[in-house]
Amino acid sequence: MLNEIIGGIQIADKVESWQDAIELAASPLLQKGMIKEDYIDAMITNINKLGPYVIIAPHVAIPHARPEDGVNKLAMSLLKLNQPIAFSEEERHQASLIFILAATDNQTHLKALSQLSTMLSEEENIDTLINGKTIEDLQILIDKYSE
Amino acid sequence: MKILVVCGNGLGSSFIVEMNVKKALKELNIEADVSHTDLATSKTEPADYYIGSKDIIENLDDGNRKIIPLINLLNQQELMDALQKQIIVEG
């Protein structure tokens, strides 16, 4: 399930801001028409409004907004940054893994999300993703948690 | 006892935490009704405990609500320790 949902895995050296990180991470979904431009703005607005709560574990951010903010099709994408980006001045708000979540309702994404959380609850998996050199390195681990 | 898991939009992190809270409560032998919602809704929904990302849950801290802030939402040990401390020790 998870590997069917996660499309558009990218690795980048660095970005200038967390807003740029979200925009870049979401760009494959935008290109494939799975989300509208508005959805990217909504994810950024949410963080401006509520703070960097999308950092759910050390180094891991899951930016998302509401389905009605511009999701056409359930999808996720992943951007791995070689240099972490700061979501605030606090050390705990540094992220290297940006998983964009675009859900179409409150239910259909839950299986993929639970597989993602199982994968990320093992800290060594987070290290594996952060240290991954190629998209294939990341894909192998994601496939492992997609059964 | 009612535990409300809160996140910014009510469809991302709160669902993950809800699953983990249920698992942890079972291990701690605590009976509770656990559900998840978004921050805006949670402000008008009564519950015995509100749990979620530190960044979100502090918005609910009005001195009356019992809040349980988490730094790492995926760390089961942190969650177990927090639940144990808040519910069993402090009541």
> Which residue of A lies nearest to B57 if distances are taken between CA atoms?
A53
Percent of chain B residues topping a pLDDT of 90: 66
Mean pLDDT of A63-69: 93
Question: For domain B2-90, is the CATH number 3.40.50.2300?
Answer: yes
* DSSP assignments along chain A, one per residue: -HHHHEEEEEEES--SSHHHHHHHHHHHHHHTTSB-HHHHHHHHHHHHHH-STTEEETEEE--B--GGGTBSS-EEEEEEEEEEEESSSSGGGEEEEEEEEE-SSSSTTHHHHHHHHHHHTSHHHHHHHHH--SHHHHHHHHHHT--
- Residue B73 to residue A56, Cβ atoms within 8 A: yes
Q: Three-state SS string across B30-47, please?
A: CCCEEEEEEHHHHCCCCC
The pLDDT score that the predictor gives to residue A105 is: 85
Q: What is the pLDDT of residue B12?
A: 67
Question: In chain A, what residues touch B76 (CB-CB under 8 Å)?
Answer: 121
- Which one of the listed residues A59, A64, A93, A109 is annotated catalytic? A64
Distance between B88 CA and the closest CA of chain A, angstroms = 25
The model's pLDDT over B9-40, given as tens digits with 9 standing for 90+, comes to 766 677 788 989 999 999 999 999 999 998 99
**pLDDT at A147 (0 to 100):** 84
Contacts of A51 in chain B (CB under 8 A): 55-56
Domain boundaries, chain B: 2-90
Question: Active-site residue A59, yes or no?
Answer: no
The residue among A12 and A51 whose pLDDT is bigger is A12
Fold for A2-144, please state it: Mannitol-specific EII; Chain A (3.40.930)
User: For testing the chain B interface, which of A53, A54, A76 should be mutated: the one with the most B CBs within 10 Å?
Assistant: A53
Q: Count contacts between A and B (CB, < 8 Å).
A: 66
Least confident of A10-14, A123-127, B48-52, B86-90: B86-90
B13/A56 CB distance under 8 A: yes
ipTM of predicted assembly, 2 dp? 0.80
Q: Which of B5, B7, B13 to mutate to probe the A interface, most A CBs <10 Å?
A: B13
